Chains A and B, each alone.
Chain A
Amino acid sequence: MLAFIIRRLLQSILVMLTVGFIAFSLFNFVGDPVSLMLPPEATQADREDVRKALGLDQPFYVQFGTFLVNAAQGNFGISLRLGRPVSQLLVERLPATLELAMTAAVFGLLVGIPMGVYTALKRDKWTSKVLLTGSLVGVSLPNFLIGIFLILIFAVWLGWLPSFGRGETKMIGFWSTGFLTTEGLKAIILPAITLGFYPITLIMRLVRAEMLEVLRTDYIKFARARGLTNNAVHFGHALKNTLVPVITITGLQLGAIIAFAIITETVFQWPGMGLLFIQAVQFADIPVMAAYLCLIGFIFVVVNLIVDLLYFAVDPRLRVERSGAGGGH
């Protein structure tokens, strides 16, 4: 048990170091940080001073170490485009992205689970087949196109919902939330549907596959033999057992949802981290790119770690298998 946790932790640290190294390389080797920070008329002496101040005269491993220490403290320097500390920018934008990602995930679960259960229980009905084919269409639709079509229908033609921005937000401490105003709630509907589209199709297919598997097991047959009603068998026994993998996979997808928010945020001009990142890519704003990369990497690693440890806690079989010869998973 302990050995597994330690190995898993070491692996996570290794991934974070790799991500950190890529971010560090962005800083130091892609574009010259000295000329980025100085005005063009700076003298050679000025350049040397800045090099010293930035620690660029130090050996490589010292520079990397300093970078890691700074990064761990959330210090990523100053945005070249906006001239403000990157960490401050990210903290400002974080609530918008997290609220959007959470709403999309919840939306995905609320719609995806019933659809999955339905297509598993009524697998031969034509509506199930339509839903399944529809989910293939859902996978083939690029995210940004869903957003554009939703804007066209609900914002331009019908005029029901706003098409860009977060509406009115309220501050709770440092956290700006759109959940407390009607405008804010209306503004999140279209982006959340857009971002939730892919999770819906994924969750639906997953629930369906798991349900079909569980319905074949002996304990379901036994429950039927005991004379329980269909509803009790389907929802009390079958669904409950399918939910563990569904929730873990959705958890794993959370990182992907946050990353995919880049696209949704661009379509809806949603003022989150993704929009900040895409503007950074367009303007070659390296500090913002590096910081975003580290943050996303961190979220991914933490989510993966939690899910793995949860699996380990839930499924005793893993304890036997994992303690054998290590390696891939």
Chain B
Amino acid sequence: MNDTFKRMRESDLWYSFKRHPLVIVAAAAALICILGALFAPWLAPHNPFDLKTLNLLDAFTPPAWTSAGKAQFFLGTDDQGRDILSTIMHGSRVSLTVGICAVALSMVIGITLGLLSGYLGGALDSFIMRVADVQLSFPAILIALLIDGVARVVMGKDGHDDVAVYVLIFAIAASGWVQYARTVRGSTLVERNKEYVQAARVIGRKPLAIMFSHVLPNVMGPVLVLATLHVGSAIITEATLSFLGVGVPPTQPSLGTLIRIGNDFLFSGEWWITVFPGVMLVILVLSINILGDWLRDALNPKLR
């Protein structure tokens, strides 16, 4: 255990981390957001989904530091009297879950197709890469919207609400696999001619085993950097879809749903219902993006 710590402290990555104050701030912010979201049910001052504790008389309370604010609702309340701070903590939980699951699924699809494409080559390779080309010429949000729209038609309104979160995860994952597939394919093309792969082939290992247990560990580096940056954009895509009203249902609101709800009250002066979830979303995505940017540069040997 001590050894691992020592290795970590002496690594280049840690050295680079210490020298970038902005990255340290971003890491701290991301950590606070993630912990707050993870432990939301225990840390949040109120339970916004327990209808018994809600009081409509508390609705539209402004933040605590304004003259009409109440101390127990630090960031104010929304139209149903729910505490904004608590809904934000629960909302980040949904946003982060969807974002991370979508990226993980996207990675699995992309890595598998990239390995198959790069290692086996031939007609399968051309087919997968042509599909990737076509998909890459459309923005991710459009593809996610389309998948969500189709799911809505197939399952009908009520059936869709139950599985909305899973559909959303799949839609975002399906719109993001191309980059992983392309990266993995490129590295696999290089790796498959190396001696260790030939050796594995000679001793009679099956192609699938070679791909996943020998080639895969050697192509993972760039994939992990890509994934860090992808989490930020996946969270944005989720928030956008939810804002457009085709994401998660309002019973389990994500940050995007909260912003959508608040948007209706913008003109009547209740700005805090929209602004705080919005600021939270920006802090979350920005800190993840700064970390991803730094990781990309720190792991790139050319920039050292």
Interface size band for B: 35 or more
Residues in B lying within 8 Å of A, measured CB to CB = 22, 126, 129-130, 133-134, 137-139, 141-142, 145-146, 148-150, 152-154, 232, 236, 239-240, 243-246, 259, 263, 266-267, 269, 271, 274-275, 278, 281-282, 285-286, 289-290, 293
Known A143-B240, A156-B271; judge A284-B141 contact (CB<8 A).
no
A139 interfacial contact with B, CB 8 Å: yes
**Which among A143, A256, A284 is the interface contact of B149 at CB below 8 angstroms?**
A284
Known A156-B271, A296-B142; judge A30-B154 contact (CB<8 A).
yes
Q: Does A304 lie within 8 Å of B149, measured CB to CB?
A: no
Q: List 21 A-B contacts (CB under 8 A).
A: A133-B22, A140-B236, A142-B236, A142-B239, A142-B243, A145-B259, A145-B278, A148-B266, A149-B278, A151-B266, A156-B266, A262-B141, A262-B145, A262-B244, A263-B244, A281-B152, A281-B244, A289-B146, A293-B146, A300-B137, A327-B126
Distance of A140 Cα from B233 Cα, bound (Å): 8
**Which among B142, B154, B240, B267 is the interface contact of A142 at CB below 8 angstroms?**
B240
Most chain A CB inside 10 Å of its own CB: which residue of B138, B239, B285, B290: B138
Known A144-B243, A281-B246, A300-B137; judge A289-B285 contact (CB<8 A).
no
Q: How far is the CB of A8 from chain B (nearest CB, A)?
A: 12
Q: Does A136 lie within 8 Å of B246, measured CB to CB?
A: no
Q: Does A300 lie within 8 Å of B138, measured CB to CB?
A: yes
Distance of A16 Cα from B139 Cα, bound (Å): 16
Q: Does B278 lie within 8 Å of A136, measured CB to CB?
A: no
A313 interfacial contact with B, CB 8 Å: no
**Which among B141, B239, B281 is the interface contact of A260 at CB below 8 angstroms?**
B141
Name the residue on B nearest A22 (C-beta): B146
Known A30-B153, A144-B259; judge A281-B145 contact (CB<8 A).
yes
Please list the 4 inter-chain residue pairs (A to B) with the smallest Cβ-Cβ separation, ordered nearest first. A281-B149, A140-B286, A284-B153, A140-B285
**Number of A residues with CB within 8 Å of any CB on chain B:** 47
Q: Does A259 lie within 8 Å of B138, measured CB to CB?
A: yes
A137 interfacial contact with B, CB 8 Å: yes
- Cβ contacts A260-291/B at 8 Å (1 or 0 each): 10110011000000000110111010100100
A145-B282, A152-B266 given; 13 more Cβ-contact pairs under 8 Å:
A14-B130, A139-B289, A141-B282, A142-B236, A144-B240, A148-B259, A151-B266, A255-B137, A260-B141, A262-B141, A263-B240, A278-B145, A281-B148
Distance of A149 Cα from B276 Cα, bound (Å): 11
**Which among B22, B236, B246 is the interface contact of A278 at CB below 8 angstroms?**
B246
B146 surroundings in chain A (CB, below 8 A):
22, 289, 293
Is chain A's binding surface mostly helix, strand, loop or mixed? helix
Distance of A141 Cα from B145 Cα, bound (Å): 19
A15 interfacial contact with B, CB 8 Å: yes
Name the residue on A nearest B142 (C-beta): A259
Distance of A148 Cα from B150 Cα, bound (Å): 28
Q: How far is the CB of B61 from chain A (nearest CB, A)?
A: 19
A149 surroundings in chain B (CB, below 8 A):
275, 278
A31 surroundings in chain B (CB, below 8 A):
153-154
Name the residue on B nearest A289 (C-beta): B149
Q: How far is the CB of B92 from chain A (nearest CB, A)?
A: 14
Known A139-B289, A140-B289, A142-B236; judge A152-B275 contact (CB<8 A).
yes
B126 surroundings in chain A (CB, below 8 A):
327
A83 interfacial contact with B, CB 8 Å: no
- Cβ contacts A6-39/B at 8 Å (1 or 0 each): 0000000011001000100010001100000000
B232 surroundings in chain A (CB, below 8 A):
140
Name the residue on B nearest A304 (C-beta): B137
Q: How far is the CB of B227 from chain A (nearest CB, A)?
A: 17
Q: Does B289 lie within 8 Å of A263, measured CB to CB?
A: no
Q: Does A282 lie within 8 Å of B245, measured CB to CB?
A: yes
Distance of A31 Cα from B157 Cα, bound (Å): 13
Q: Does B271 lie within 8 Å of A278, measured CB to CB?
A: no
